[in-house]
Amino acid sequence: MGSRIAVFGTGYLGATHAACMAELGHEVIGVDVDESKLAKLAAGEAPFFEPGLDEVLQANIDAGRLNFTSSYAEAAEFADIHFIGVATPQRRGEFAADVNFVDSVVATLAPLLTRPSVIFGKSTVPVGTAARLGAMARELSSLGDAVEVAWNPEFLREGFAVKDTLHPDRIVLGVDVMTPGRAEEAAREVYADILAEGVPFLVTDRETAELVKTAANAFLATKISFINAMAEVCEAAGADVSELADAIGYDARIGRRFLNAGIGFGGGCLPKDIRAFMARAGELGANQALTFLREVDSINMRRRTRMMEMTREVAGGSLIGARVAVLGAAFKPDSDDIRDSPALNIAGQIQLQGASVTVYDPKAIENSRTLFPTLGYAADVREACDGADITLVLTEWEEFRRLEPAYLDSIVRQRRIIDGRNCLDQAKWRGAGWEYRGVGRR
């Protein structure tokens, strides 16, 4: 018999977690305040694009293991194990994370609990949040110590969310070391099938678990900014950053993954997580330890300006009146997520310079139009590139990687392409008579 689980929040994290826990054989109820999201999910459709997720949703709904509700009372009645998967966005005008959604899950749920329960936090939170929520839950619940809060950070990547959840690199669990309860045992039950595959399971205190997550994202962000800094030097020195990355990447201590230079990192995680990490370290009196992340952030943001400038250079010094085709709007391929997307940021900057910009993305057009209604949008590559003076590839979708110069030859006005992700074969494009510019490439 599986466990009875509630998952609070049905965004990228929560919806995936709910579906995958049902896939592991548990009985799951997904909880959200947004009725329109719930209606979609109940029909087996994720409210965002994530490869393979709809199939897992549908299969488990059909099997009767997965349901959705907006009622906390129903969730409290149904489950003994609760996962928090709500968002912790950047606070407006500040670096710190906004933990209001996480707080309100505990504040609403704790008084409704009728039997011993474990609340596992999955959201990325400032270190110290779990202990604070643990105390809050105990205070608000008549069950006292029988309600535990543990932290079980999530490391899934969008685009690989199902695979990362069912086959993670590791499972990290932070428990209350002062009053150890059932949390570890409950996690071992929930993740039994995954642990049986030999996936490492690390049990720590809650603070360490919270920090593992932020440290991992800070490291990844640093790795990307490192290679983007190298791209700047390569451009100045007439060297090639892709060859450099290949060569240093063979050193197993460095590794080739996450060493792709380009327009930098975006999305709902890395940018806000490094900022929240700096803010939290400051509160703890350890701000000096993370001042380098400020530089990581600046290198990253500079990529966006640099890409606009490169486009202006290619246009001959001015973008006024130029027609620019932007291929890609999502912050990365296989996602329709445009939160802090470098591609859209660049498209906006180019438009502000007086160009007429037309954007195409295989999945993210609808979200983009809502956020940036003033940009032009196209239904496909041909329409976006129609009459273009410059074509930019800003998200490395497979569809764009496979583009053949001949396909665009007769559509564009000028054969000029800028590869913001170094994902095209430059020899092919140059060989076909195109002016090709990459990032940190000769």
Positions annotated as catalytic residues are: 269
Sheet holding 66-69, edge to edge: 66-69, 27-31, 4-8, 81-84, 117-121, 147-151, 171-175, 201-205
Provide the minimum distance between the beta carbon of 47 and ligand UGA in the complex, in angstroms, as a whole number. Answer: 17
HSE-up of residue 293 (Cα within 13 Å, Cβ side): 27
Confirm whether residue 155 is marked as ligand binding.
yes
* 258, 282, 382, 399: residue in contact with ligand UGA (rule CB under 6 A): 258
> In the complex with ligand UGA, which residue's Cβ is closer, 124 or 356?
124
Q: Nearest to residue 78, comparing CAs of 10, 160, 6? A: 6
Confirm whether residue 285 is marked as ligand binding.
no
* 67, 260, 351, 353: residue in contact with ligand UGA (rule CB under 6 A): 260
> In the complex with ligand UGA, which residue's Cβ is closer, 3 or 341?
341
Q: Residue 387 and residue 379: Cα distance in Å, rounded?
A: 15
84 binds ligand UGA (CB under 6 A): no
Contacts of 204 by beta carbon, 8 Å cutoff, 6+ apart: 172, 173, 174, 175, 212
334 binds ligand UGA (CB under 6 A): no
Q: Nearest to residue 41, comparing CAs of 7, 72, 84? A: 7
Q: Which stretch binds ligand UGA (CB under 6 A): 20-28, 193-201, 264-272, 315-323?
A: 264-272
Question: Which DSSP state fits 63?
Answer: T
* 14, 264, 348, 438: residue in contact with ligand UGA (rule CB under 6 A): 264
Q: 312: which strand partners?
A: none
Contacts of 227 by beta carbon, 8 Å cutoff, 6+ apart: 241, 245, 259, 260, 261
CA angle 339/244/231 to nearest 5° reads 45
270 binds ligand UGA (CB under 6 A): yes
Tokens 């992340």, residue located: 293
* 16, 90, 124, 367: residue in contact with ligand UGA (rule CB under 6 A): 124
* 262, 328, 362, 420: residue in contact with ligand UGA (rule CB under 6 A): 262
Q: Are 229 and 223 in contact (CB under 8 A)?
A: no
How many amino acids of this chain bind ligand UGA (CB under 6 A)? 22
Regarding beta strands 356-360 and 323-327, do their DSSP bridges make them parallel or antiparallel, or are they unpaired? parallel
78 binds ligand UGA (CB under 6 A): no
Provide the minimum distance between the beta carbon of 267 and ligand UGA in the complex, in angstroms, as a whole number. Answer: 4
HSE-up of residue 112 (Cα within 13 Å, Cβ side): 18
Q: Nearest to residue 357, comparing CAs of 401, 389, 330? A: 389
265 binds ligand UGA (CB under 6 A): yes
155 binds ligand UGA (CB under 6 A): yes
> In the complex with ligand UGA, which residue's Cβ is closer, 51 or 111?
51
Q: Pick out residues in 198-257 that bind ligand UGA (CB under 6 A).
A: 217, 220, 224
Q: Which stretch binds ligand UGA (CB under 6 A): 67-75, 106-114, 148-156, 199-207?
A: 148-156
Contacts of 250 by beta carbon, 8 Å cutoff, 6+ apart: 256
**Cα separation values, 195 from 2, 152, 163, Å:** 15, 14, 15
Q: Are 216 and 157 in contact (CB under 8 A)?
A: no
259 binds ligand UGA (CB under 6 A): yes
Confirm whether residue 332 is marked as ligand binding.
yes
Site string for ligand UGA, 397-426 (x = CB under 6 A): ------------------------------
Confirm whether residue 401 is marked as ligand binding.
no
Provide the minimum distance between the beta carbon of 104 and ligand UGA in the complex, in angstroms, as a whole number. Answer: 20
Confirm whether residue 261 is marked as ligand binding.
yes
Question: Which DSSP state fits 11?
Answer: S
Q: Are 355 and 320 in contact (CB under 8 A)?
A: yes
Q: Which stretch binds ligand UGA (CB under 6 A): 193-201, 269-277, 380-388, 400-408?
A: 269-277
Confirm whether residue 291 is marked as ligand binding.
no
Question: Which DSSP state fits 298?
Answer: H
> In the complex with ligand UGA, which residue's Cβ is closer, 267 or 362?
267
266 binds ligand UGA (CB under 6 A): yes
Binding residues: 32, 37, 88, 124, 155-158, 213, 258-262, 266, 272, 332, 339
Q: Which residues bind ligand UGA (CB under 6 A)?
A: 124, 154-158, 217, 220, 224, 258-260, 262, 264-267, 269-270, 273, 331-332
Binding residues for NAD(+): 32, 37, 88, 124, 158, 272, 339
Binding residues for substrate: 155-158, 213, 258-262, 266, 332
